[in-house]
Structure 1
Amino acid sequence: MTFTQNFTAVGDNLALSAIVALIPILYFFWALAVKRMKGHIAGLSTLAIALLVAIIAYKMPASMAFMSATQGAIYGILPIGWIIITSVFLYKLTVKTGQFDIIRNSVLSITEDRRLQALLVAFSFGAFLEGAAGFGAPVAISAALLVGLGFNPLYAAGLCLIANTAPVAFGAIGIPIIAVEGPTGVPAIEISKMVGRQLPFLSVFIPFYLVFIMTGFKKSMEVLPAILVSGVTFALTQYLTSNFIGPELPDILSALVSLFALAIFLKFWKPKNTYRFAAEQELAATSTARKLHSNQEHYSGGQIFKAWSPFLVLTGIISVWGIPTIKLALTGHYEGTNAILKAINSIGHALTFMPEVSLLNNKILNSAGAPISAVYKLEVLGAAGTAILIACIITKFIVGISWKNWAITFGETLNELKYPVLTIGSVVGFAYVTNASGMSTTLGMSLAKTGSLLFPFFSPFLGWLGVFITGSDTSANLLFGNLQKITATSIGMDPVLAIAANSSGGVTGKMISPQSIAVACAAVGLAGKESDLFRFTVKHSFILVILVGIMTFLQSHVLSFMIP
């Protein structure tokens, strides 16, 4: 038995089919933003509704619909859930051993201003992790760091999700852009150049926007010099690397330049007023606060280095895991002659499992009649979460925790994250059902009907929709990249601009993706509060995607000289 995707399944009408395809998405918005359901309940019920729409409206065989849900759920656990578990575990190890107190004080020694801490940790450090790993690790780790520094958990998660907008398109060593070359045939370097002529404008804006969200316009202007140093250095490096090197390094280099530039700048410049949270302002006048401040000077350089070592080790290992050749070996696909990589390849091959999805593999035919393969992708050694686990093992020796307490902490982490992992599994299952049934393509085709004048504006909304559904800029590019190219060519828009807009628009959907919301809540201990975080980020997502839409519209109709 086979199933041919029909993108006009409801009444042989694209508009009507799109309205029906929107039902699970609108329900999810309602469940979180209005009903304020717990994340796992909203995720499971959204998955159930998506299954019903796929089976009843899109005529997808029930067995295939359910198996596509299992394929997504397993991908939600590995690699995504695995990243969250190991990231939170690493953070808890530093807290339990007292090392995070030293980390907190080392950041305070650079600046006690909460606005500037957000720029250093959420924007710059988070962008570095996005460039090296992606898949949830940046938000999980940077949000946990902010909570440890004293940020409200909801604020920390929301700020890190919004800050993650700037680097997502070049995340995980440029995978979103490299991947879209395949289905579109457009060279990755050309897409990289165009994205590098869009995102830097957001990269300049995001640091100001973060501080504005925290404190309002007046207090944002107090730290405008630092905001400009953070944003301009990031944006300039992002433009140069994306246009003259390629898509692999913009995030890593931009983040490092921004981080060090701001840290050095703060050695010579301080804001007139140090911004603290309301509760801290009351504490600041007490002798206890003064005593805490004086204790910041008691840690030696060696102690500070030791405290940061788990995250330095994490950074190093994740960076190595992201190198394309090593990634091939870790997943058992290396075909070179290097002896060390061949040895790693043999282990990676043994720990990589690609079983077919029963009743689904090659049973779904796309509109061209070609079968779509379906496998459970289980890359145990190559997963970023495994890299973080290795960092956790090395951290055991750095911080001197016993194996018993190490294992107890891991067990505590698993227990804390059982509902967030369930949430992630259910929302990724929903994404896979939406894709396999053809619902997501129906929505994409509907947006593509907006015409030659308006399509450049709506083009980024396709990417935004794709990332909301799939949780990944890479997946959104694979889902809609070729549709963008075909539509752009038919209406006279430059296809490189349309493909780039898909990626640039997609980054603004990351902050409201069900996966990202679940990851962020898990990292800061807000399991069950996903609705609160969604309500915090959703308006900012709309604002930013509209900005990208305006930018794309202008580049298509007025500023065409910016297209490579």
Structure 2
Amino acid sequence: MANTAPVAFGALAVPITTLATVTGLPLHDLAAMVGRQTPVLALFVPMALVGIIGGWRGVRETLPATIACGVTFAVAQYAVANFFSAPLTDIVASLLSALAVVVAVRRRSKEENTDSRAEVLRAYAPYAIIIAVFALAQVPAIKDALTSVTVTFNWPGLHLATVGGKPSTLPVFKFDWLDAAGSLLIIAGLVTVPVIRIRPGAALRTYGGTYRQLATAIVTVMAVLALAYVMNASGQTTTLGTWMANAGGLFALLSPVLGWLGVAVTGSDTSSNSLFGALQVTAAQHAGLSPTLMAAANSSGGVLGKMISPQNLAIAAGAVGMAGREGDLFRRVFLWSLILLAVMCLLVFLQSTPVLAWMVV
């Protein structure tokens, strides 16, 4: 349940960067648009979590903390996504909301903190370093230096044309050696090693273990991106998008549902954006809607499919010692998924009309 509002900007905003890649829309515009949708979910998720566990009594008893958590996360997510850096959106929002909860709870609790200031600073150091590295990467001079080593080339033997007969940009491959979010994260990790006093050998073993842990996910994402590439290059995405555009303005109501279904099936907002991102843009163009709004709606709707995805339910159940009881978890969250999806569909529809058109990038 908690893994909803943050999903679109998770893993350093990989779902958003993937969406920008497959749609050709500006990364900043997509991040800003999603940052004007998912914060609405963040407002209610803390209270919903407490409600599932403690009922209405629990909600009443923790109201100050849940309000502080939801409002802080929502405001921070909106602000960072729109005015700072998409990859840092969830990191900043999470840290600030955690701080807000600590402050809210401390005012009602007389318990003393048993952790020393040095321990607290050491625990937060990795996050502070990540924020600092990504912030420095936005400085024009540094950004230019990072992008100077970017390699762009036409993929050998691949020649594609658009519907209009012009050369397609799909065969153009761009490799960001240093400017990519993953590269910056590795740099932040190298800086973190001496700060938190980890031996190089232990750091390398941890790095290798992380790759082994993510091996299946890496292959899955690569395969889904390859499928999306074939669908886009063969015209399948354009055909489906043109057909769905027959819904006209009502397509805005269906747009988040596509993302929701995509994540529910694949378990990944990145995969859903890869499969349906270009379709959303095509349908929006033929229906007279904002392509940025519809593409963002795919990602924002997708976050609500995360909680009912079989893959994620299996991981969650295994992590808390409930293996084999995925059905119990599904029954507890399915209704919430539908309720929040309805809220997102209504929000996107209103954003496609003059009522909330001022929110569209």
- What SS does structure 2 have at the residue aligned with 1:377? strand
State the superposition RMSD in angstroms: 4.8
Q: What amino acid does structure 2 have at the position aligned with 1:319?
A: A
Whole-angstrom distance in 1 between the partners of 2:253 and 2:151: 42
Kept after mapping to 1: 8 A contact 2:225/2:274: no
**Residue equivalent to 1:23:** none
**Residue equivalent to 2:100:** 261
Structure 1 residue 316 displacement after superposition? 2.0
1:432–1:470: structure 2 CA closer, same or farther, 3 Å change rule? farther
1:465–1:392: structure 2 CA closer, same or farther, 3 Å change rule? same
**Residue equivalent to 1:434:** 231
**Residue equivalent to 1:365:** 161
Whole-angstrom distance in 1 between the partners of 2:269 and 2:145: 27
1:458–1:472: structure 2 CA closer, same or farther, 3 Å change rule? same
Kept after mapping to 2: 8 A contact 1:463/1:476: no
**Residue equivalent to 1:486:** 285
**Residue equivalent to 1:164:** 6
- What SS does structure 2 have at the residue aligned with 1:162? coil
**Residue equivalent to 2:270:** 471
Kept after mapping to 2: 8 A contact 1:195/1:503: yes
Query: Superposed, which structure 2 residues align to 1:180-219 within 5 Å?
Result: 198-213=37-52, 218-219=57-58
**Greater Cα offset, 199-208 or 212-221:** 212-221
Whole-angstrom distance in 2 between the partners of 1:376 and 1:546: 38
1:556–1:412: structure 2 CA closer, same or farther, 3 Å change rule? closer
1:268–1:512: structure 2 CA closer, same or farther, 3 Å change rule? same
The TM-score with structure 2 as length reference comes to 0.70
**Residue equivalent to 2:63:** 224
Kept after mapping to 1: 8 A contact 2:69/2:100: yes
1:233–1:321: structure 2 CA closer, same or farther, 3 Å change rule? same
Query: Superposed, which structure 2 residues align to 1:63-462 within 5 Å?
Result: 159=2, 161-165=3-7, 171=13, 198-213=37-52, 218-236=57-75, 257-269=96-108, 297=114, 299-321=115-137, 326-332=142-148, 349=149, 352-359=150-157, 361=158, 363-372=159-168, 373-452=170-249, 454-461=250-257
Structure 1 residue 268 displacement after superposition? 0.6
1:192–1:305: structure 2 CA closer, same or farther, 3 Å change rule? closer
- What SS does structure 1 have at the residue aligned with 2:355? helix
Q: What amino acid does structure 1 have at the position aligned with 2:175?
A: L
Kept after mapping to 2: 8 A contact 1:175/1:474: no
Kept after mapping to 1: 8 A contact 2:276/2:298: no
1:414–1:165: structure 2 CA closer, same or farther, 3 Å change rule? closer
Aligned identity (percent) is 30
1:398–1:177: structure 2 CA closer, same or farther, 3 Å change rule? same
Whole-angstrom distance in 1 between the partners of 2:175 and 2:36: 36
1:449–1:247: structure 2 CA closer, same or farther, 3 Å change rule? farther
Q: How many residues align?
A: 340
Gaps of 5+ in 2: none
Q: What amino acid does structure 2 have at the position aligned with 1:370?
A: K
1:499 is matched with which residue: 289, 292, 305?
292
1:235–1:392: structure 2 CA closer, same or farther, 3 Å change rule? closer
Q: What amino acid does structure 2 have at the position aligned with 1:544?
A: L
Whole-angstrom distance in 1 between the partners of 2:67 and 2:338: 24
Gaps of 5+ in 1: 1-157, 272-292, 333-348, 490-494
Does residue 1:545 correspond to 2:357, yes or no? no
The TM-score with structure 1 as length reference comes to 0.48
Structure 1 residue 250 displacement after superposition? 7.2
Whole-angstrom distance in 2 between the partners of 1:538 and 1:443: 31
Kept after mapping to 1: 8 A contact 2:280/2:295: yes
Kept after mapping to 2: 8 A contact 1:473/1:506: yes
Structure 1 residue 400 displacement after superposition? 3.2
Structure 1 residue 197 displacement after superposition? 5.5
Q: What amino acid does structure 2 have at the position aligned with 1:561?
A: V
Structure 1 residue 503 displacement after superposition? 0.8
Q: What amino acid does structure 2 have at the position aligned with 1:433?
A: V
1:461–1:366: structure 2 CA closer, same or farther, 3 Å change rule? farther
- What SS does structure 2 have at the residue aligned with 1:444? helix
1:430–1:183: structure 2 CA closer, same or farther, 3 Å change rule? closer
1:269–1:370: structure 2 CA closer, same or farther, 3 Å change rule? farther
